[in-house]
Structure 1
Amino acid sequence: MTQSFNNSLIKTAIVGYGFSAKTFHLPFIDTLSEFDVTAISSSQVDTVEQDWPKVQHYLTAEEMICNTDAQLVIITAPNNVHFSLAKLVLENNKHVILEKPFVTKITDGNTLISLAKEKGLLLSIYHNRRWDGDFLTVKKLIEEKTLGQIKHFESHFDRFRPVVRQRWRENSQDGGGILFDLGPHLIDQALQLFGLPDAITAHCKITREGSSNIDYFNLTLHYPDKLASLSASLFSAGPNLRFNIQGDQGTYRKLGLDPQEDLLKAGIRPDGEHWNNESVEQYGTLYTEDALVAVKTELGGYQHFYQGIAHAINNAGQVPVSAEDALWNIRLIELAMESERLGKTMAVKL
């Protein structure tokens, strides 16, 4: 029987206590008044008990999911267990948020979507980069046709990590590598702007010594009137180009990543609406035929995802990121790997 949740204060449990949980999730659910952190599962017993002494601690995700009275479970575990843990959460009649990527196999995603619908539970994926200030700026420029007709859209998520690290994100054979780690960010943003492409051409390579997974990719999404190029490299040591968007009325270029991740890593609490303002020096530039202008970055904020979740739970609203949307990211990743394997462009079919 589907459990009914009517209280405005949402009891929340988190699977995992690593970088993702501590940086991208706990600061928001701890800051927002709609949520109450009630349980954490992690093998880091001493650290969790020190940081969260009033929160119930479980050694395993499975034990917590089956025993906690939390209404909502956030999964920040490795990609290869997203499906099994999310399925267990839904079977225990709790709402679930999954870190991206949603799943590593299309069939698993469809199973979770069907199960959530059957039980009347919320299933959402944490595509937080929809609330990057630079992305919101790009979205506004395109919607207002400031650049005219877009001809080429270029989006990067580059880093300088030439040495392979011994961690699951890089070494897991099921959902490891940057195509599953960074790819969903870039793909999701492109789909939000332009919808599904007609086709995809991809180069997905292993470039670092000792690497066992894709650590470079360039995906070209083919639209009737434009191309979208999505790239990630781990050999980018200089100032990183984030966006280069060319239209028939001008070009917008933006360097550097949205500041929210660095602020959160530095321990800045996301209080209020303006905790993550960019400085003037960080603004992107609009180039036209006879001028260049600094473009103020729109105000982003990952808190908007969780505010949307609270509204969806308390008011039977729509989740801020649907599982159906997130599953298209996985479908395009699968097509990208097939494009690399076959050396040809792959059609994207509904």
Structure 2
Amino acid sequence: MIKVGIIGATGYVGAELLRILLNHKDVTVSAISSVSFEGEEISSIYKTFIDKTNLKCETIEDVLEKSEIIFTALPHGLSEDIASKCIDHGKICIDMGADFRLSKEENYKLWYEKDFSHPAIHKESVYGLPEFNRTKIKKAKLIANPGCYPTSIELGLMPLLKNSLIETKGIICDSKSGATGAGRGLTLSSHFAELNENFAPYKVGGHRHTPEIEETLGFMASDNVTVTFTPHLLPISRGIISTIYCTPKNQVDLEKIHDLYIEAYRDEPFVSVLPLGEVACTKNVRYSNYCHISLHLNHRKDQIIVVSAIDNMVKGAAGQAVQNMNILLGLDEKEGLNFISPSF
């Protein structure tokens, strides 16, 4: 059994990761940590773990000592030191925060207002979108798990960009997320009275996922890509739906585009391209590691509309991290992730 540890286990993403790993046949969770709940059993914080595990929140040092693979589920700026220690001790780090998602330090400083603490290890980091970087992930020691919004958008656009079928400027990404995307810490916008029966955009024109989206789409297109990305907060617990508007370079045959997507994702275990006429939605991917994609044209047939749906906690975070671990270790990519979304 492979020993894995979770640093930041009491946040929503950390707890979701623990839920998945406890059902993984090839690993054992050797240690977890939480600064806020050190010494407490995880089952006292999340009652869903009662009689499932007796793990207590230990120190970061305990997790590093007891584990071969370390998952970090921390706010930006807190994972670099841990990742550096992992590399120094020959251990694998899968970071679910934002510290390694951007390749250029100037972009990280602009959007996150911090310098790289350990510039050298950023060169070893691999962006962990399996459908795009699987070969590199297999050899990685440090994986940057993608953001939730970027995952939905990048999977939605990858076949079009890799085949140079759309303009790379002026792509519009209109995305909505459930409240778990804001994390476990309380904010005014996540209070029930503010969230319930409400629907609004936030961080309009300046969300920190924008540079990650543009950089990764640029790698896919082998060109500079610019997007207008606007996130919205939905009054639901989990799920992301991204509606993406892009301009084709030539006349569009939607059936051929659909065939292209089917072929592009034919061997991908967690991407499903829906039949033409159907629309992707959050309900059908909840609690699963799947991305559902549907394809559409506007009435003038001069704009392609891609709809992409994921569970922000699974494919957008913890599930994708486990998928990356499986690839890296040469395990069945689907191990621990064969969840079927509830029908209602």
Runs of 5+ in structure 1 lacking a partner? Answer: 1-8, 171-176, 198-220, 222-227, 265-269, 316-350
- Partner secondary structure for residue 77 of structure 1: coil
Amino acid of the residue matched to residue 213 of structure 2?
L
Provide the residue aligned with 1:18 in structure 2.
Answer: 11
Shift of the alpha carbon at 1:194?
A: 2.5
The answer to whether structure 1 residue 263 and structure 2 residue 258 are counterparts is: no
Shift of the alpha carbon at 1:60?
A: 2.5
The answer to whether structure 1 residue 57 and structure 2 residue 56 are counterparts is: yes
- Partner secondary structure for residue 249 of structure 1: coil
Shift of the alpha carbon at 1:101?
A: 0.7
Provide the residue aligned with 1:342 in structure 2.
Answer: none
Provide the residue aligned with 1:286 in structure 2.
Answer: 297
Shift of the alpha carbon at 1:95?
A: 0.9
Shift of the alpha carbon at 1:292?
A: 9.3
Q: How does 1:241-320 map to 2 (within 5 A)?
A: 242-249=243-250, 259=282, 263-264=286-287, 270=288, 276=290, 278=292, 283-287=294-298, 289=300, 302=315, 303=319, 306-314=322-330
CA change 1:40–1:86 in 2 (3 A) is same
Provide the residue aligned with 2:85 in structure 1.
Answer: 88
CA change 1:287–1:133 in 2 (3 A) is same
In structure 2, what is the Cα distance between the partners aligned to 1:115 and 1:71? Answer: 18
In structure 1, what is the Cα distance between the partners aligned to 2:208 and 2:154? Answer: 18
Work out whether residues 160 and 235 of structure 1, in 8 Å CA contact, stay in contact via their aligned partners in 2.
yes
Provide the residue aligned with 1:186 in structure 2.
Answer: 213
Amino acid of the residue matched to residue 155 of structure 2?
L
Shift of the alpha carbon at 1:156?
A: 3.7
Runs of 5+ in structure 2 lacking a partner? Answer: 101-111, 127-138, 189-202, 255-278, 332-344
Q: How does 1:206-221 map to 2 (within 5 A)?
A: 221=225
CA change 1:313–1:285 in 2 (3 A) is same
Q: 2:173 aligns with which of 155, 159, 162?
A: 155
What root-mean-square deviation, in Å, do the aligned CA atoms of Structure 1 and Structure 2 show? 5.1
Write the deviation string for residues 275-317 of structure 1: whole angstroms up to 9, x where unpaired: 6474xxx8342237559999796999835653343332359xx
In structure 1, what is the Cα distance between the partners aligned to 2:207 and 2:169? Answer: 27
Structure with more contact order per residue of length (Cα contacts < 8 Å, sep ≥ 6)? 1
In structure 2, what is the Cα distance between the partners aligned to 1:107 and 1:314? Answer: 31
- Partner secondary structure for residue 247 of structure 1: coil
Provide the residue aligned with 2:229 in structure 1.
Answer: 231
Q: TM-score, normalised by structure 1?
A: 0.53
In structure 1, what is the Cα distance between the partners aligned to 2:90 and 2:42? Answer: 29
- Partner secondary structure for residue 116 of structure 2: helix
Amino acid of the residue matched to residue 245 of structure 2?
N
Instruction: Work out the number of aligned pairs and report it.
Output: 251
- Partner secondary structure for residue 83 of structure 2: helix
CA change 1:95–1:263 in 2 (3 A) is same
Work out whether residues 158 and 231 of structure 1, in 8 Å CA contact, stay in contact via their aligned partners in 2.
no
Shift of the alpha carbon at 1:116?
A: 8.3
